[in-house]
Structure 1
Amino acid sequence: MLLNRRGFLGTGAAALSLAAPMVRAQGKPRVVVLGGGAGGATAARYIAKDSAGAIDVTLIEPSRSYYTCFFSNLYLGGFRTLESLAHSYGTLASEYGINVVHDWATGVDRDAKTVALAGGGSVPYDRLILSPGIDFVDGSVEGWSLAAQNAMPHAYKGGSQTELLKAQLEDMPEGGTFVMVAPPNPYRCPPGPYERVSMVASYLKANNPTAKIIISDPKESFSKQALFEEGWNQHYSGMITRIGPDFGAENTSVNPTDMTVDIDGEVVNAAVVNVIPAQKAGLICESAGLTDGNWAPVVPETMQSRMDENIHILGDAAAQGDMPKSGFSANSQAKVCAMAVRGALTDSQVFPARFSNTCWSLISENNGVKVGASYEATEEKIASTGGFISDTGEDAALREATYEESIGWYAGITSDMFG
């Protein structure tokens, strides 16, 4: 099915017709949402829209312009502009009555049910929704830290880091080497690093055809591996070398000063190094005492924290089961969460939770592939109920249709997030 804006907005349990909510007698309940991405912006919009003003919604997000991390690889490849990835919160405020606060949340007082802001003061809540995305595990790549992110960018958060990596790519000397240090599982967007390699290769093939790409990868295998490797052999033969754990990739360190990468004793002199470290839930989850290890466990049916029933956690930060950490997943979880929150605070109808995800990737011009699944909530986790993946050897027309489908999805999800 070709996904367009109309089709996308009609999916998910929260899109079903809803009875008018009944406000509880104690007054207008307050929902605070931290993080304005695919999870947070969607949840804020659906709660405000479907409660018809019965719930006071505040969205806290430091950035006035939100740059999507999904589709940022296409900017690196020259298939999208940076401006096309930028979105504002004006419609959420003007049309949906959401109080949009551009500030950093510095802490959560779970007893007082307040969120502290960097600019001073605090915001009270009856329900809190956390959708902070990812942060990085300190020391996961020897020699790299956030202090080195300008020399060796991660570009795994949208915006300035993506722009920096693109500039470094454009400044590569003829015949230079691009090195990616890929992350261990689990991490944001499982096909993301390998789509990035494809887009970097596409750019280099057109602008620096003698350049080389090396991937140092600690994983035995990766998402859509057969599809990517088929595409690399077909379109970028001889350009890309992947070094896996069998050949020492688990023993990788970097030197940002010298721009070198040591892979099990073999030192590579690099023109550009893209370090994607191991990841964890956004720091606000850890500081609020909501993590169990690196991620925040949730109740699948409602996305409530297993540590605090008044807090819900969405998207990349959540330890929820089988769903990948993707924008589509966060958006799907947000609709389930919004329905659960609205039901709890206004006694309105709640439908059974259902989830879905699709991850599209571009390998070369008009050569799109996808993987996806449907999911249901069990007591233990969000569990996959069936999936699909593109086949190797598909014809060019089908691959172009898959790419066009992804363009329709991007238009649909960003409209769903920001109105």
Structure 2
Amino acid sequence: MTINRRLFIGTGAAMLAAPMVRAAGHGMPRVVVVGGGAGGATAARYIAKDSDGAIDVTLIEPTRTYFTCFFSNLYLGGFKEIDDLGHTYGTLASDYGVNVVHDWAIGVDRDAKTVALAGGGRVPYDKLILSPGIDFVDGSVPGWDLSSQNAMPHAYKGGSQTELLKAQVMAMPEGGTFAMIAPPNPYRCPPGPYERISMVAYWLSQNNPTAKILVSDPKDKFSKQGLFEEGWQKYYGGMIERIGPDFGAENTSVDVAAMTIDIDGSVENVDVCNVIPAMKAGRIAELAGVTDGNWAPVNPDDMSSKVDPDIYVLGDASEQGDMPKSGFSANSQAKVCANAIRGALTDSRVFPAKFSNTCWSLISENDGVKVGANYEPADGKISSTGGFVSQKGEDAALRKATYEESEGWYAGITADMFG
């Protein structure tokens, strides 16, 4: 299936009809959304747009400019500028009537149905959507914590971390070593670390061709592995070494001060170290009491929490079944969630839940690959109903078309998120 900007936006817009009645009670029903990424911004926009003013929508997001983590690897490779990844919330406010609050949500009172803000005050809700993305599991990489993120960036949240990692790569000495500590499952964007390796390798091949890349990976296998390894051999032969669990990668630590990594007792000096720790749901989901310790279990029909039916959790933070943690997934889940919430608050029609996802990756210039699937609720989770993946040995024209398709998708999803 080929996805372009018009088709992508239409997949959500067609399923939402105008509301029938306004909910009874204290007046206009109130929806609060925490997190302005692919899940939260999309949900806020669709609820506001398709309720036609019948629902009061507040979006709480600390940053005024949101930098997408998806496509950030292309910035590392030199195919994008950082400003290409930045998006603001003005259109959501001016065109759709979303009340955008730039602040941190620091607590949820589920009995009083309010969200506490760092700047003071509380925001009441009838329905609450949490789409906070990820945080990191403390101690998952021995020797590294958040205080080390400037010396050894994770760059798994878009923005300043991405810029920092790019600057470190550009400053590497001739013939230096770039190291990555890859994350264990589950984590945001399954092919993301390996697209990152490809893009760093591309930049180094153009600017520092004798440099080396060392990957310590605790997983036996990874998304699109055959496609990435084929590309690495074709474009970057001899530059990339991946060490898996069979050779001790599950026992990896770092020494931030010495700039070394220890892989099962073998110590390597490195010039740049990209540490991607184990992940969990963003902190506000834990504070709301809707996680199992790491992720937030949800019902597959509407993304409602299995702990509280008036709280919904989208995207990376949710534990929903078969869908990968990706921007496309979050956007798809947001449309289903928006339809369900609008139906609950305005007695309008709710359509059966259907989800989709595609993850594109760029291996080298004009060499794009993809993997994706469609999903429906089944057996208490979101279940795959069939998928597709690029194949090894595809011709250059097809790979270029796949990359161009990803560009169209990025334009489509960001328009869908921010209007």
Q: Secondary structure at the match of 1:138?
A: coil
Q: Which residue of 2 aligns with 1:353?
A: 353
- For residues 20-71 of structure 1, give each alpha carbon's deviation from its aligned partner in whole angstroms, at most 9, with x where no partner exists: 4310232210000000000000000000000000000000000000000000
Separation in 2 of the partners of 1:295 and 1:24? 31
Q: In the alignment, is the contact (CA less than 8 A) between 1:367 and 1:396 conserved in 2?
A: yes
Following superposition, the deviation at residue 363 of structure 1 comes to 0.1
In structure 2, what is the equivalent of residue 141 of structure 1? 141
Query: Structure 1 residue 378: deviation in Å?
Result: 2.0
Structure 1, residues 370-405: CA drift from partner, whole Å, max 9, x if none?
A: 000000012410000000000000000000000000
Deviations, residues 70-89 of structure 1 (Å, cap 9, x unaligned): 00000000000000000000
Is residue 16–residue 50 contact of structure 2 (8 Å, CA) maintained in 1? no
SS in 1 for 2:361: strand
Task: State the alpha-carbon separation in 1 of the partners of residues 234 and 23 from structure 2.
Answer: 61
The aligned counterpart of 2:339 is 339
Show structure 2 runs of 5+ residues with no match. none
Task: Give the CA deviation at 1:19.
Answer: 3.6
SS at match of 2:129: strand
Instruction: Name the SS of the counterpart of 2:372 in structure 1.
Output: strand
Distance in 1 (CA, whole Å) between partners of 2:20 and 2:146 is: 46
C-alpha distance in 2, partners of 1:383/1:355?
Answer: 9
Q: Does 1:275 align with 2:275?
A: yes
- Post-superposition Cα deviations, 1:215-237, rounded to whole Å, max 9, x if no partner, equal 00000000000000000000000
2:360·2:403 contact (CA, 8 Å) conserved in 1? Answer: yes
Opposite residue 206 of structure 2, the aligned amino acid is A
Partner residue in 1 for 2:41: 41
Q: Indicate the residue corresponding to 1:71 in structure 2.
A: 71
Tell me the SS of whatever aligns to 2:115: strand
| Residues 18, 348 of structure 2: 8 Å contact kept | yes
Q: Secondary structure in 1 aligned to 2:298?
A: strand
Match of 1:261 in 2: 261
CA distance in 1, matches of 2:260, 2:18: 61
Instruction: Among all aligned residue pairs of Structure 1 and Structure 2, give the percentage whose two residues are the same amino acid.
Output: 76
- Give 3-state SS (helix, strand or coil) of 2:291's partner: coil
Give matches, 1:182-197, under 5 Å: 182-197=182-197
Instruction: Provide the aligned C-alpha RMSD in A.
Output: 0.8
| Structure 2 partner of 1:55 | 55
Aligned equivalents of 1:353, 1:20: Cα separation in 2: 18
- Checking the alignment, whether the CA contact within 8 Å between 1:21 and 1:52 is kept in structure 2 is no
Segments ≥4 residues shifted beyond 2 Å: 1-4, 14-17
Find the counterpart in structure 2 of residue 170 from structure 1: 170
User: Does the residue aligned with 2:228 lie in a helix, a strand or coil?
Assistant: helix
Structure 1 Cα separation of the partners of residues 16 and 51 of structure 2: 12
| Alpha-carbon contact 1:371-1:390 (below 8 Å) kept | yes
In 1, Cα distance between equivalents of 2:18 and 2:65: 34
* Letter matched to residue 305 of structure 2: S
Retained in 1: the 8 A contact 2:19–2:347?
no
Alignment of 1:59-138 (within 5 A): 59-138=59-138
One-letter identity of the residue aligned with 1:198: S
Per the TM alignment, residue 17 of structure 1 is displaced from its structure 2 partner at its CA by: 5.3
